[in-house]
A and B are shown apart, each in its own frame.
Chain A
């Protein structure tokens, strides 16, 4: 029996019961469409988030004290001796500027504090850094100016306010030029940032930015929490990373005790997370395909009992058991393949609709999702088609022919 004939006969059989076939196609297509649209949502979210991070500038490198490999698990020896990571210092920061592949460098000191102006007081985050921070983070000034370009180790009683801090402490009056009390220290407000929102995990609008040396005085520390480095170009990022490790290693007695995180790594972490979410959504949606498979089995069982006499006739005119099996399996496969195609069309329509409703998000089903949705649909059709097809193949011709 030619495969073409098998397919043609299966399609003819499906045409015979248009309503039933349509219902099954609907069931399968809903499953496939669910996989396609849900993965498109996941993919849209992934693209949005990674896009947001990339817009910060992928030339950014972040230097952390301690090695990622040893700080978490920790060697037994390290635990016993009480080994801690060597601190990063301002001098480390300055040393990094020696690399030609590094354009800007700024240290970061973070701490919690209380800021007050007159009778108003509120909790803030103190961010000690250098003048390069403005350019590295692509911040925009709302009024006044940013920290002055002086040596990092010179403490000055000045500060720049986040948008929310300025609004809440100075109400409607101009903050620039006024004095602000942070803990025991007093500093003059040089400028106010425009609204920035969240960046790198904290709310810029809730911070007070000070020269790093001033912040170190307030928190009584000589350590630097992070060093932000901007490479001279995107291509220079790997080389800049090597330079950073080399320079700091030389300064830390030949010990490689820092971790350099690139923006790429951050983005790829989010990438991984969102891909897993997308895969999870796809798996949940794929369950509906299995349900559709059960429906196929049910309907095929009905079809076998309805067509019992026909199966008997096929056998009387010489059909082998495996030919009967092939006919019914092909019918199930055709059904699920057709349903999958309809589902792809539905899914594409759904994505189009979502794009129209939320133009911000770039919805797109990843190719693997569409391919595997179709594959799972056909596979479930075949697997659940086996039982009815075997039942048909095993029918006794005499009994089958007696049933009209």
Chain B
């Protein structure tokens, strides 16, 4: 469970203080499918970064799986990310000189896992996202949709409880975007919590729960009747 209470995130830009997040109280349970929407500058990416432990709130309490993570050290945060959270980014963020397989196994390499075990696992994951024939390709030899699938593979190799996707279809055509959403939704059906930040209503509407942000505040939080 992700429990946020009174979370604020302020930036100082020049002489001004920007309230990117202003007193956010929200709880996200395991296995949920949540979309976070709002106009640009509303703080939706900041919220995702805070939820993903990439960013620290300036005030408030964040409990992740029961543990207070509001004031952990850099390394402790990295460890918590490693255990609980997978990221999918708009611009994929694949390492260009590594093959699809090497990109997917990267989180396992960081943990010092044995080469054979991690390679098998990465290969199995790439197969599950339909890239079996592409495991030795480098990112520049892959289409956008394929790159995002590699990125998804990398996000789930540590078997996280939460998958955080920031505009995962923002850089893709409609068809590949749809495929990516289907993969993500399948992962959600398999039990992983899925949080998607998007400004595209056709993407956001597919989620089961909708968070709407404006000026760093949650202005709407409602569940959609499941079909």
Contacts and interface: CB of A to CB of B under 8 A. Distances in A.
Interface of A: 1-2, 5, 9, 12-13, 15-16, 309-310, 312-323, 397-398, 401, 404
Contacts of A1: 109-112
A1 B158 CA distance: 15
Contacts of B115: 2, 5
Contacts of A323: 110
B75 A321 contact: yes
B93 A401 contact: yes
Nearest to A310: B95
B23 interface: no
26 contacts: A1-B109, A1-B111, A2-B109, A2-B115, A5-B112, A12-B98, A310-B95, A313-B95, A315-B54, A316-B52, A316-B54, A316-B87, A317-B82, A317-B87, A317-B106, A317-B107, A317-B154, A318-B79, A318-B82, A319-B110, A320-B79, A321-B75, A397-B54, A398-B49, A398-B54, A401-B89
Q: What is the interface of chain A mostly: helix, strand, loop, or mixed?
A: helix
A90 B82 CA distance: 94
Interface residues of B, number: 27
A398 B21 CA distance: 15
B95 A401 contact: no
B18 interface: no
Interface of B: 49, 52, 54-55, 74-75, 78-79, 81-82, 87, 89, 91, 93, 95-98, 106-107, 109-112, 115, 154, 158
A315 B91 contact: no
Contacts of A320: 74-75, 78-79
A118 to B, nearest CB: 90
B89 A2 contact: no
A9 B98 CA distance: 9
B95 A318 contact: no
Contact of A317 (B75, B81, B91, B97): B81
Nearest to B55: A398
Contacts of B112: 1-2, 5
Q: Which 8 A-B pairs have the closest CB atoms?
A: A318-B82, A317-B107, A313-B93, A16-B97, A397-B54, A320-B75, A398-B55, A398-B54
A319 B111 CA distance: 8
B91 A404 contact: yes
Contacts of A398: 49, 54-55
Contacts of B154: 317
A256 B91 CA distance: 90
Nearest to A2: B112
Nearest to A404: B91
Nearest to A4: B115
A5 B116 CA distance: 13
A396 B97 CA distance: 23
Contact of B109 (A5, A13, A312, A322): A5
Contacts of B96: 16
A200 B30 CA distance: 94
B51 to A, nearest CB: 12
Contact of A318 (B49, B93, B97, B111): B111
A80 B49 CA distance: 90
Contacts of A317: 81-82, 87, 106-107, 110, 154, 158
B78 A13 contact: no
A322 to B, nearest CB: 8
A318 B107 contact: yes
Contacts of B98: 12
Contacts of A15: 97
Contacts of B110: 1, 314, 317-319, 323
Central interface residue in B98, B106, B109, B112, by most chain A CB within 10 Å: B109
Contacts of A2: 109, 112, 115
A312 B92 CA distance: 12
Contacts of B107: 317-318
Given A1-B111, A317-B106, A322-B75, 8 more contacts: A1-B112, A5-B115, A12-B98, A313-B93, A318-B78, A319-B78, A320-B79, A404-B91
